[in-house]
Structure 1
Amino acid sequence: MRLLHTSDWHIGRTLHGTDLLAEQEAVLGGLAEVVTAERVDVVVVAGDVYDRAVPSTDATAVLDRVLTRLRGAGATVVLTPGNHDSSRRLGFAAGLLAASGVHVRTATTSLDEPVLLADRHGEVAVYGLPYLEPEIARFELALGGRETSTARSHEAVLRAAMDRVRADLLLRPGTRSVVLAHAFVGGGQPSESERDISVGGVDLVSPAVFDGVDYVALGHLHRPQTLSPRLRYSGSPLAYSFGEAGQQKQAWLVDLDAAGLAGVRALQLPTPRSLSVLTGRLEELLEDPAHAAVEDHFLSVRLTDPVRPTDPMRRLQTRFAHCVHLEWTGAAATPDGRSYQERLRGRGDLDVVGEFVSHVRTVPTTPAERDLLGRALAAVDRAEAAR
């Protein structure tokens, strides 16, 4: 049996306010071609199907089309909610979907009831663990009587969940097993686009929690990585922050034979639009022919002009249509190396306000303007004294 391990689709996510639905559908819909070309039997999604608990109608339409294409290509689909999803909303019509070959596993109380699939070697049990919020899941998993901090950790609830999975596997001798889990497992390297799932500072899960199964398809961390041959993160299918610029996104093709895990190999995913970061002065960025290669990329630009340029985003977008993030770092370092607080020490309010107005407009304030600012500050002082 061959599985395609994916996770963290985050359908509906934006990049600094820019809609990514078209790029998401291009990559996720293209998985149907992978199913056909690689003869994939099962596609698994280990959490964070949507980017928010209440997805937009456009996001739900994308998921509908993607799942339809995957089923049309012949793959069974198993997906679980992550910390971004609403289990109740994602699990709507789960029974009806299961009848069509799309298995949405959202219930904590039935996480030890696997999706049973078969090949010529026998059965494969796929256990979909929904994201387990410790303060809720510990009661559902009968940890409510233990009031220690560890009983409220991700490791505690996942260990209890895996105990149930292993107990069920004991009743199925010879059955191969796959677990989907959404967690921060020790040894994994996070990216800046993931939402923190720590509770009271306790979020890390030991890899040993997942002992006893043939393959663990992990979700939550957006960087593809291997913790052990049978314990892996697929990462997100698209880059969702500029910290992931240049990162090759992928999924894992997982083969199971009669003995269990037979092999895993990386499948590189296409990049509909690359992410890049440019640093320099505005005029240089607009004129330098060396930047032609990134004109169609999503761009984050750091401007180093000593004076803040006028209308920089609009000007950048005349050349770089997909520039979505801009920061000005020109004033970050001062010639004398003093901090902002040190530069203000001993200065009056009028000096500080006058310098701010001059800085924003890039021209000095006139005597008349300073007089007006002084009268405004005096009025504020009188109002404060009258309270």
Structure 2
Amino acid sequence: MRILHTSDWHLGRSFHREDMLEHQAAYVDHLLDVVATERIDLVVVAGDIYDRALPPVDAVRLADEALVRLAHSRATVVLTSGNHDSAQRLGFSARLIDAAGVHLRTNASAVGTPVLLEDQHGQVAVHGIPYLDPHAVAEPWGLDRRSHQAALSAAMDRVGGDLAQRPGARSVVLAHAFVAGATPSDSERDISVGGVSRVSTSLFDGIDYAALGHLHGAHVLDNHLRYSGSPLAYSFSETDHRKGSWIVDLGAPGTPVAVEFVPAPVPRALARLRGTIESLLTHPAHTAHEGSWIEATLTDPVRPLAAMERLRKRFPHTLILGFDSPRSTMGAPTAGATYARSDRQIAHDFMVDLRGEDPTDGEVQVLYRAVDACCDTDETGREGGDMMIDDERPPRDEEAG
């Protein structure tokens, strides 16, 4: 039996305000192409189909199209809900949809009831475990503690109980969880309970293949225990990720699975660039990134003016701009300073911290007028805003009495 393992589509999610729906639709096209060309028998989708419980209409439409196309393909589909999905909404009409060969497993009460398939080597029991909120299942399942380890352990006990009644059957389990040994990225939602989010890899001992979802990087925890990761990048922390799916060949009972990675189409590469603005704008080494989505960090000692506009002339898809100057302090008076700063002084000090140098005389004039216009009284206590702007600068910390 040939299995395609994917997860974490996050339909409806954007990438730093860039609409990703077109790229998500391209991944669905890729998925259907792989099913056909690689003669996939079973597609498993391990949760987070949508990015939120109430997905936008266009995302629902794309999910509907994907499932209809999969239903008309050669493959059976087993799909579970993740922590981003609404289990009830995603699982609507699941019993009816089962008849089309698309099996939605979103209800915790059904854990332990498999989708049963056959191949030339016999029976395959596919157990879909939706994301389990420990607080939601603790009481109905009689858990002695509210934790992910306890919830998933109870789920695997149910799976084990079913498999014990099926001697010789091979097992596939879908689980949406944070399994120890994998590394998260910045784009996953924290699922920790009591500060603990990880579960043990030993929970999946004895399973022929465990298809994991939740983490956005492809991870191999054991030959039979893998994350597919998200098919698209959803944060710059995923810049070095290789996105795609796993093709798993499930052979005769007792034989290890054979696994192959299938890269997903990359709509636009990601790059993290760091340096002075001059180096980013002129260095030939950055030519390869001119079409990439960019996270830029500038190290200029003085913050450049119009930095984003200048960067986008070379890198039109710059999405994030950060600053990391050599200066070690920003925004606060020097330690030990006790003088009360006026509004003018606070604004002046802010400009110095922001740019690393004193404003010019002309900038001071504009800055003080703006500060005075926002106050009920001027620096001398008079009502109104019209006054002479003198050339005095705020006292430096060492001069303050």
TM-score by length of 2: 0.85
1:181 lines up with 2:175 in the alignment: yes
In structure 2, the CA distance between the partners of 1:39 and 1:376, relative to structure 1 (3 Å rule), is: closer
1:353 lines up with 2:347 in the alignment: yes
CA distance in 2, matches of 1:131, 1:353: 50
1:171 lines up with 2:162 in the alignment: no
For structure 1, which segment, 310-319 or 116-125, has the greater mean C-alpha deviation from structure 2 after superposition? 310-319
CA distance in 1, matches of 2:96, 2:46: 21
CA distance in 1, matches of 2:373, 2:252: 85
Q: Give 1:68-83 correspondences, 5 Å limit.
A: 68-83=68-83
Residue 152 (structure 1) shift = 0.3
Per-residue displacement from partner, 1:131-161 (whole Å, max 9, x unpaired)? 0000001123232xx3xxxx10001011111
In structure 2, the CA distance between the partners of 1:110 and 1:292, relative to structure 1 (3 Å rule), is: same
Residue 372 (structure 1) shift = 7.7
Per-residue displacement from partner, 1:1-39 (whole Å, max 9, x unpaired)? 110111111111211121111122212320111111211
- Whether the aligned pair in 2 keeps the contact of 1:29 and 1:69 (CA below 8 Å) is no
In structure 2, the CA distance between the partners of 1:341 and 1:355, relative to structure 1 (3 Å rule), is: closer
Match of 1:255 in 2: 249
Q: Which has the larger radius of gyration?
A: 2
Residue 51 (structure 1) shift = 1.0
In structure 2, the CA distance between the partners of 1:117 and 1:356, relative to structure 1 (3 Å rule), is: same
Match of 2:236 in 1: 242
CA distance in 1, matches of 2:230, 2:157: 28
Structure 2 counterpart of 1:232, one-letter code: R
Match of 2:297 in 1: 302
For structure 1, which segment, 257-266 or 21-30, has the greater mean C-alpha deviation from structure 2 after superposition? 257-266
In structure 2, the CA distance between the partners of 1:328 and 1:180, relative to structure 1 (3 Å rule), is: same
Residue 117 (structure 1) shift = 1.2
Match of 1:95 in 2: 95
1:199 lines up with 2:193 in the alignment: yes
1:273 lines up with 2:268 in the alignment: yes
Q: What SS does the corresponding residue of 2:280 show, helix, strand or coil?
A: helix
Structure 2 counterpart of 1:163, one-letter code: D
Per-residue displacement from partner, 1:247-276 (whole Å, max 9, x unpaired)? 211211111122154322222222121110
Match of 1:17 in 2: 17
In structure 2, the CA distance between the partners of 1:177 and 1:316, relative to structure 1 (3 Å rule), is: same
CA distance in 2, matches of 1:142, 1:380: 68
- Whether the aligned pair in 2 keeps the contact of 1:169 and 1:175 (CA below 8 Å) is yes
Residue 369 (structure 1) shift = 5.6
Residue 78 (structure 1) shift = 0.9
Q: What SS does the corresponding residue of 1:166 show, helix, strand or coil?
A: helix
In structure 2, the CA distance between the partners of 1:92 and 1:304, relative to structure 1 (3 Å rule), is: same
CA distance in 2, matches of 1:100, 1:49: 19
For structure 1, which segment, 288-297 or 16-25, has the greater mean C-alpha deviation from structure 2 after superposition? 288-297
What is the aligned-residue identity percentage?
49
CA distance in 1, matches of 2:366, 2:265: 60
In structure 2, the CA distance between the partners of 1:212 and 1:246, relative to structure 1 (3 Å rule), is: closer
Match of 1:141 in 2: 141
CA distance in 1, matches of 2:4, 2:367: 67
Structure 2 counterpart of 1:240, one-letter code: Y
The structure in which a higher percent of residues are helix is 1
Residue 197 (structure 1) shift = 0.7
TM-score by length of 1: 0.88
Which runs of no fewer than 5 residues in structure 2 stay unpaired? 382-401
For structure 1, which segment, 360-369 or 218-227, has the greater mean C-alpha deviation from structure 2 after superposition? 360-369
RMSD, aligned α-carbons: 2.6
Per-residue displacement from partner, 1:175-204 (whole Å, max 9, x unpaired)? 111110011111112222211110111222
Q: What SS does the corresponding residue of 1:48 show, helix, strand or coil?
A: coil
- Whether the aligned pair in 1 keeps the contact of 2:329 and 2:353 (CA below 8 Å) is no
Question: Quick one: higher RCO (CA 8 Å, sep 6+), 1 or 2?
Answer: 1
Match of 1:324 in 2: 319
Per-residue displacement from partner, 1:100-144 (whole Å, max 9, x unpaired)? 11111001001111111111222211111010000001123232x
1:214 lines up with 2:214 in the alignment: no
Structure 1 counterpart of 2:290, one-letter code: E
The number of equivalent residue pairs is 373
Structure 2 counterpart of 1:321, one-letter code: P
- Whether the aligned pair in 2 keeps the contact of 1:27 and 1:271 (CA below 8 Å) is no
CA distance in 2, matches of 1:345, 1:227: 52
Q: Give 1:19-98 correspondences, 5 Å limit.
A: 19-98=19-98
Which runs of no fewer than 5 residues in structure 1 stay unpaired? none
